[in-house]
Amino acid sequence: MKLTGAQIVWECLRKEGVDVIFGFPGGAIMPTHDALLQYPEIRHYLVRHEQNAAHAADGYARSTGKVGVTISTSGPGATNLVTGLATAMMDSSPIVSFTGQVPTTLLGNDAFQETDVTGVTLPVTKHNYLVTDVKDLAQTIAEAFYIARSGRPGPVLIDLCKDVQLSETTFEYPEDVRLPGLHLSPVPDSDALAAAAELINEAERPLILAGHGVVLGNASQELLALIEKAEIPVVNTLLGLGCIPHQHPLCLGMGGMHGEFCTNQAIQECDVLIGIGMRFDDRITGRLDEFAPTARVIHFELDEAEIGKNVPVDVPVIGDCKDTLAAILPYVEEQRRPQWMDTIRAWQAETAKREITELEFEDLIPPYVMQQLYETTEGNCFVVSDVGQHQMWEAQYFPHQRPRQLITSGGLGTMGYGVPAAIGAKVGNPDALVWAVVGDGGFQMTMEELGTIMQERVPVKIAIVNNGFLGMVRQWQQLFFDKRYVGTPIMSPDYVKLASAYGIPAISVSERSDVSDAFTEANSADGPFLIEFKVKEEVNVYPMVAPGAAVDQMIRRPEPRVVQGRRGTQPSW
Amino acid sequence: MMKHTVVAWMEDKPGVLNRVSSLFRRRNFNIESLTVGHSETPGISRMTFVVDGDEHMVDQAVKQLDKLVNITRVENFTARPAVIRELALIRVSAAGSERSEVVQLTDIYRARIVDVALDSLVVEITGPESRINSFINLMSNFGITEMVRTGRIAMTRGVGSVTHTGEVSPGWRPGTNQWTLSNGK
Ligand SMILES: Cc1ncc(C[n+]2csc(CCOP(=O)(O)OP(=O)(O)O)c2C)c(N)n1
Ligand SMILES: [Mg+2]
């Protein structure tokens, strides 16, 4: 039987097990949207901007481990995707994006809504295709899904000429895909494993830096087995948070620019540093030539190009870390390291003295909001954070329990990611509680998605941390630009009214004592819920590695110096 | 800094060269020359390029290139014994008595005169870059009015072949499938 290109798109999605798609229609993709009527088992979520379709697909992918799919039109519908694709590319998130394109006869003619989409998206996709012949379509889609999820995942875009969507061919979905240029995870190399194990066995102060790769590779169990056998403490990158539970005695939390001081001390003092599924990004290393100065480096990584890209590596272990971690276990000796652990515990105790939220005071500060989010949900929710100070506070003060629990734009740091990605996470996990934790700035970048929440009935919860500023930039202005607040004070609308215009229940909280109740109410509400937290404005994220400084040269949290203020006992910041 | 010769095999598909050059530009690799053409295998093109940079740069160039879906294999030839050649066409102004001098030098360099006009000659020369450079140096004394160079191409010396699938041992018989890969992916 012959099918149109448009039908073939949906047939292929069905073969790939896709049942949701985030999209926005337009001229050049109309035949494909039209054919969706024949496939009621696939649900189309209408977003309010194509960038958010990509973020939603990304949030769906990160929270489920499946490929997220978008569909949009040519020209603006495709260029609007770019930020979302770049975000997914940086964080290795598997997405397949379909875009409409002008008919093949008009390609290259600057026809209405023509853009060189494969050209524009080339550097922000893992791969992309322009389909000019319906006979290539099924093969292309099969390849796209395969590429998106295999090896180091990433976004793949398929640009579909309009006439391809309309012309017919016999449909046959390729059973398997062979791509000679795609080098998949190699079998773990036993020499490398032995060399790595020898370093680990002889180490006195080993340390693991675990990143997103552990999450993407579903390798938490393998990681736990290794660290427990050889007593190796673990530092996480932002995207690695949750790959082992925060409460695990060997979990030291996040390192890097806003990592705990004790955590960064461990990085600087270790003698063997084991990077797993991470890429030694500048946010984790700080000043490169002073990074982990005494350490020999082992790097477990799937993407060979990451080996030695930023930090010289003594022993590379190439492969999927689920395989390599399992394979190294027999080579690694069972060990206890009381001395190293005592040193770390002492550093942790010193750091704990500066924990701000343990203080008695009245102001509503963002760390308290994060702690209450954890307390009221008992850690039982997805947290999708946006970008800025609140993102760092979430990372610091919400103890992550499991992989995929935290979803955030790490590599690109895309403001506006939070709400649409939370929609994607909720769509992928309808029975789970999904919280978007966003700033007043980032929320206003994509708040049109309240429309999607309303129309498509996606019951996500939104916590806006309203500090009246583009806080993270303001913090840098305060610290490095003599407090010249140019372009960072930001006004907000009345969020409660705004939400109510969309039929979304909302409250605004400005007292510390109301935080817990507000969260409890939102958690138990059936539908979506929005809380605005009017927090103390000029609060900084500490500790902090100043740009260009080594990771242990941190601006520390001020010592808790309690002063008597107008409103009683206050800490000084 | 050093010049590295790298060979890459790629599927002959639209846009592949664009992907390659986009990657070079984005990652700031210093590419001195780049030459592409057919390989022994239908559907597979072979590209030779020269990176001017340190070990780190060439290592990154090789690995990042290897990640492109349409690139099937990348091999650094720099440390291997290899035949390295370049071709140049040079239009030299040569009128009167200078003409015979140009012809003589062309002979010495084992170059060829491929076109003759009243007051100029077109010379074709192949060889390692150094030889071409020195020939160009000489010719510039007569006046070079036009020139085109292909950039390096390279092939390893010895009995084995290097193809898009890997190193092919000397015992290989085309069509019999009797070959071994020592470094195949
Ligand atoms: C799309 C985009 N534009 C600009 C930035 C630069 N930037 C990083 S954090 C930040 C401030 C974020 O403000 P807000 O959302 O209010 O969060 P806060 O830092 O106050 O918690 C800005 C402007 C960015 N990361 N992304
Ligand atoms: Mg803010």
Query: Has residue A563 got a pLDDT over 50?
Result: no
Ligand 1 pocket check for A84: Cβ under 6 Å = no
pLDDT value at residue A480: 95
**Reported ipTM exceeds the 0.85 cut:** yes
Q: What is the pLDDT of residues B165-182, one digit of tens each?
A: 887 765 544 444 433 344
Query: Has residue A570 got a pLDDT over 50?
Result: no
pLDDT value at residue B169: 60
Mean pLDDT of chain A: 94
Same fold, B2-80 and B83-149: yes
Which B residues in the span 37-76 are in contact with A, Cβ-Cβ below 8 Å? 56, 59-60, 63-64, 66-72
Closest CA to B128 of B166, B168, B85, B171: B85
pLDDT value at residue A1: 82
Angle at B140 between CA B135 and CA B146, to 5 degrees: 95
Please name every residue paired with A427 in a beta bridge, in sequence order, or none if there are none: none
What is the mean predicted confidence (pLDDT) over B128-142? 96
Query: Has residue A311 got a pLDDT over 60?
Result: yes
pLDDT value at residue B167: 77
pLDDT value at residue A181: 84
Query: Has residue B185 got a pLDDT over 60?
Result: no
Query: Has residue A53 got a pLDDT over 90?
Result: yes
For atom 4 of ligand 1, the residue with the nearest CA is A415
Q: What is the pLDDT of residues A377-422, one digit of tens each?
A: 999 999 999 999 999 999 999 999 999 999 999 999 999 999 999 9
For residue A224, the 8-state DSSP code is H
Mutation site, A129, A136, A143, A182, interface B, largest B CB count within 10 A = A182
For atom 24 of ligand 1, the residue with the nearest CA is A415
> Cα dist. B4→A129, B80, B166 in Å?
32, 11, 20
A426 is catalytic: no
Classify A529 as helix, strand or coil. Answer: strand
Residues with CB under 5 A from ligand 2 (ion): A 439-441, 467, 471
For residue B181, the 8-state DSSP code is B
Residues of chain B neighbouring A309 (CB-CB closer than 8 A): 60
CATH number at residue A60: 3.40.50.970
What is the mean predicted confidence (pLDDT) over B67-71? 95
Query: Has residue A346 got a pLDDT over 50?
Result: yes
- Total domains, chain A: 3
pLDDT value at residue A351: 85
Q: What is the pLDDT of residues A109-157, one digit of tens each?
A: 999 999 999 999 999 999 999 999 999 999 999 999 999 999 999 999 9
Question: Is B39 in contact with B33 (CB distance < 8 Å)?
Answer: no
At residue A187 the predicted structure's pLDDT band, cuts being 50, 70 and 90, is confident
In this structure, are A335 and A385 located in the same domain?
no
pLDDT value at residue B46: 97
Q: What is the pLDDT of residues A509-544, one digit of tens each?
A: 999 999 999 999 999 999 999 999 999 999 999 999
Range of the domain at A194: 190-350
pLDDT value at residue A127: 97
Question: What are the extents of the domains in chain B?
Answer: 2-80, 83-149
Residue A176 domain-assigned? no
A50 is catalytic: yes
What is the mean predicted confidence (pLDDT) over A271-292? 95
Residue A567 domain-assigned? no
> What does the radius of gyration of chain A's CA atoms come to, in whole angstroms?
24
Q: Do B10 and A181 touch (CB under 8 A)?
A: yes
A90 is catalytic: no
- Last residue of some domain: A331, A350, A369? A350
Question: Is A440 in contact with A464 (CB distance < 8 Å)?
Answer: yes
In this structure, are A128 and A218 located in the same domain?
no
pLDDT value at residue A355: 66
**Cα–Cα dist A188/A463, whole Å:** 44
pLDDT value at residue A564: 46
Check if CATH label 3.30.70.1150 holds for domain B83-149: yes
pLDDT value at residue A356: 63
Residue A107 domain-assigned? yes
In this structure, are A14 and A144 located in the same domain?
yes
In this structure, are A383 and A296 located in the same domain?
no
Residue A512 domain-assigned? yes
Least confidently predicted of A470-479, A497-506, A563-572, B121-130: A563-572
CATH number at residue A312: 3.40.50.1220
Fold of B2-80: Alpha-Beta Plaits (3.30.70)
Residue A563 domain-assigned? no
Query: Has residue A439 got a pLDDT over 50?
Result: yes
> Cα dist. B20→A151, A229, B64, B67, B153 in Å?
20, 45, 10, 11, 17
